[in-house]
Chains A and B, each alone.
Chain A
Amino acid sequence: MRHQAIVKTIQLGLRSLWLHKLRSCLTMLGLIFGVGSVVTMLAVGEGASQQAIDKIRKLGATNIIISTEVPKAKQKGRIRMKIFGLTNKDFESIAQTCDRVRHLIPARIINTQSMSKNRLKDIRLIGTKANYFQLIDQPLLTGRTLLDFDLEQRAQVCVISEKIARELLNNSHTIGQEILLKDQYFKVVGIIQSAEQTDQNSFTQPTDVIIPISTMKTLFGDSAIENKGGSTTWEKVELHKIYAQTYSTEDVEQTAKAIETIIEDNHPDKDFNISVPLALLKQTMETRRMFNIVLGAIAGISLLVGGIGIMNIMLANVTERVREIGIRRAIGAKKIHIVGQFLIETVVLSVLGGLIGILCGISLPAIITYFTEMPTLITSGSIILAFGISASIGILFGLYPAYRAASLDPIKALRNE
């Protein structure tokens, strides 16, 4: 059929749908729900995975995080004195062996309290080296970061986050003031942007206070004494974290393996853990792919149901219009004309349903985000997919009714009352 004939047939199709408004609407409902839920589910899924990927990306795709863990053997029992964790020796071995590491940063972490002008605040004290600031994604707001000089001098200086500054320094964002960390005074030399509050295991926390690791060792030592339930435990940990940043993402996996091999021998207790954000990212991608497959299967079923609904109505439509088919055939319409007519009507019905479904699918995620604060993301891909699916459903489920209509015997069709 020519272009003009198709346009005319679409017009007539719309008119015949308009003639049976209620029936057309009910038929389209199946597809509206199907397509709407596909777009919505994809938006929710996409939003969730984007959030996860963002979080992992914050950890850095080229980073390897080696953490101290309390060894299983020392978690229980009556041992009061615990010595475990990463050591400066591990740090040196990694530094000497791995050539693909750009930055290697040690960190000691002490959860403690800080006081300034009679305000008390829980903080996380991080003792580290100057290049720590190249690892984190928190721009400097004022002052300076730690320098190698501070480490050499074991200077009592600290860099604090903007949140801590606001709460401890009485809203005056000025450097040069002194705050009490644990039991020592430190001079604030820089303020960095606060880390986003995510969860406990996050790489950076909003309450971070960063001081030179050498100063920390000198002033606070290697050990932590804890009083719990009347008994005192004594923990000695040299380093809580070692951050290794490689030159590129291709080096990550190999370097992580190498690091494990290097420090494994020193730690028969397995009191460390290596986490690779890139591997997590890959795993998340894989999970997301699986999620999408499951989603696709569910959506496929709902669309199949919608399609069957359309086929059912179109078969009824053909039965109802047998006489019209007979008239058209008597006048000289070929079978292909009849097939085209009914196929186009079905496609018009399904595409219309699909378009309304897409509108629902676009507005629903916005409502979801508004009320539940769950992130949603509508991709153009999901809309194109939904539209394509609804059009193909029209063709697929319209073929049989159209074929039935075309293969009617014209005489019998004309006699039909």
Chain B
Amino acid sequence: MKPVIQIQDVCKTYFMGENKVDALKNVSMDFCEGEFWALLGPSGSGKSTLLNMMGCLDSPTSGTCLIDGIDVSTMNDNQLSDLRLSRLGFIFQSFNLIQQLTVAENITLPLFYQGWTEKESQERAIELASLVELEHRTDHLPKELSGGQQQRVAIARALANNPSIILADEPTGALDTKTGDQIMALLTDLNKQGITIIMVTHEPEVADFASHKLHMRDGIIEKIERPECAIKL
């Protein structure tokens, strides 16, 4: 399998007031095409920092992060934006829908930045909304939807630009178990269609939906579980 994201000897240090925090300590890891990863670990273990780095939202203090073999540290702000726009899809714990936009507008937000015409986006919005079974709610505002529905809108938005990688930060964290399971089923489906998914979670039951698991603690990789074997580090 071809690696899509390669993390090589990455350190991330930031300061919270006076305190120096080592969020990542010399982490190296390859994520391959079509894999479904769950990043597990207690809060402060560095899993979210790692996810943000892979999403080109954060840059490493040292080491390199390659996406499709390209070092992201060599890219400028505009190129990073373009990379996010064309290759990545984000799903957040708190859905992060824009409240004053309708469901359809939220879904087509990436297309707006890609310069799609109004008509093309409309068609795509309906297509994506029916994929997450919300085609009857396209004119509603996010606050009129339930949590599960909002998260489905967020997934539809993440899919709008046909990303090859979806980065999910605790996608079920704000949902009840039943709704969470529906969301996870949806993600599993997408993974089967070939989309690489990297998901942060701290719930083992949610992590069980993933094919691969990465356990982190104190900024280092503690354990990697692959389907065929479990490698203990």
**Closest Cβ of chain A: how far from B138's Cβ, in Å?**
16
Check B43 for interface membership: any CB of A closer than 8 A.
Answer: no
Bound Cα distance from A329 to B83, whole angstroms: 12
Contact mask A1-20 → B, CB, 8 Å, 1/0?
01011001000100110010
Q: Is there contact, CB below 8 Å, between A334 and B96?
A: no
Does the CB pair B81–A329 fall under 8 Å? yes
For residue A332, which residues in chain B have a CB less than 8 angstroms away from its CB?
81-86, 88, 110, 113-114, 161
Bound form: Cα–Cα A330–B85 in Å: 8
A325 to chain B, nearest CB (A): 10
Report which of A5, A12, A334, A411 forms a contact with B77, defined as CB distance below 8 A: A334
Give A319-340 interface residues, CB cut-off 8 Å to B. 323-324, 326-337
The residues of B that contact A411 with a CB separation of less than 8 Å are 52, 57-58
**Number of residues on chain A facing chain B (CB within 8 A):** 25
Please measure, in the bound complex, the distance between the C-alpha atom of A329 and the C-alpha atom of B84, giving whole angstroms: 9
Among B58, B98, B118, B157, the one with the most A-chain Cβ atoms within 10 Å of its Cβ is B98
Q: How many residues of B contact A (CB 8 A)?
A: 31
What are the residues of chain B within 8 A of A4 when measuring CB–CB? 117-118
CA of A2 to CA of B78, assembled, Å: 17
Residue B146, interface by CB 8 Å: no
B82 touches A331 (CB 8 A): no
Question: Are A330 and B112 interface neighbours, CB within 8 A?
Answer: no
Shortest Cβ distance from residue A204 to the other chain B in the assembled complex, whole angstroms: 68
Given the known inter-chain contacts A332-B86, A334-B78, please indicate yes or no for A8 contacting B98, CB distance below 8 A. no
Whether the pair B100, A19 counts as a contact (CB closer than 8 A) is yes
In angstroms, how far is the closest chain B Cβ from the Cβ of A276? 67
The answer to whether B81 touches A334 (Cβ under 8 A) is yes
Q: How far is the CA of A323 from the CA of B92 in the complex (A)?
A: 12
Q: Does A414 contact B (CB under 8 A)?
A: yes
Inside 8 A of A2's CB, which chain B residues have their CB? Answer: 115
**A71 CB within 8 Å of chain B:** no
Interchain CA distance A7-B157 in the complex, whole Å: 22
Of all chain A residues, the one with the shortest Cβ separation from B115 is A2
Inter-chain CA distance A198–B206, complex, in Å, is 93
A415 to chain B, nearest CB (A): 10
Complex contacts, A328 vs chain B, CB 8 Å: 98, 109, 113
- Rounded to whole angstroms, the CA-CA distance of A16 and B98 in the bound complex is 11
From 95 to 126 in chain B, residues with beta carbon under 8 angstroms from any chain A beta carbon are 96-101, 109-110, 112-115, 117-118
Q: Does A300 contact B (CB under 8 A)?
A: no
Scoring A4, A330, A333, A334 by chain B CB atoms within 10 A of each residue's CB, the highest score goes to A330
Please give the distance in Å from B159's CB to the nearest CB on chain A: 12
Residues of A contacting B58 with CB < 8 Å? Answer: 411
Q: How far, in whole Å, are A210 and B31 apart by their CA atoms in the complex?
A: 109
- A410 (CB) vs chain B CBs: closest residue: B57
> Which listed residue, B81, B84, B86, B118, touches A8 by the CB 8 Å rule?
B118
Task: Using A12-B101, A331-B113, A332-B82 as known contacts, list a sample of 16 further A-B pairs with CB atoms less than 8 Å apart, ordered by residue number in A.
Answer: A4-B117, A15-B100, A323-B96, A324-B98, A324-B99, A327-B96, A330-B55, A330-B84, A330-B90, A331-B109, A332-B114, A334-B81, A334-B113, A335-B77, A411-B57, A414-B92
Can you report 14 A-B residue pairs in the complex whose CB atoms are below 8 A from each other?
A8-B112, A12-B101, A15-B100, A324-B98, A328-B109, A329-B81, A330-B84, A331-B84, A332-B85, A332-B113, A333-B85, A333-B113, A337-B113, A414-B57
